[in-house]
Amino acid sequence: MSLHWKPDGYPSVSPYLIVTGVREVIDFLERAFGASRLRVFEHDDGSIMHAEVRIEDSVVMMGEAGGDWPSVPSSVHVYVEDVDAVYERALAAGGASLQRPVRKTDDPDRRGGVRDPAGNSWWIATQQ
């Protein structure tokens, strides 16, 4: 369904991350989650003003911290087909472990967490 007020294929809500090191976060998301770049807009000095990546059916937007826009660590939750495989890829991509994947009592999700190079927490889950 095409809507004139937003790009085709974009959800109505997307996380927007203000990070130090947009290029490193994009690389992490590509390697860990198989993200694909949608749009990247640079400042005249080559730094990234705005970038967008797609992870499955979602879009994550981000901009480079600086000046009036300080880095703000965020938490993002992502459902994936295989939490253990994505967790391991995230570690190999430079993520730091927050929690190995585990299924807690009365929770249908098996969930783990990693921190990306900019300090954002990515909670990864597979419903079992």
Which whole number is the average pLDDT over 94-101? 98
Per-residue pLDDT band at 1 (split at 50, 70, 90): low
**Whole-model pTM over 0.85:** yes
**Does residue 111 register a pLDDT over 60?**
yes
**Does residue 71 register a pLDDT over 90?**
yes
Q: Which tokens sit at 36? A: 């694909």
Which whole number is the average pLDDT over 19-29? 97
Contact indicator for 91, 97 with CB cutoff of 8 Å: yes
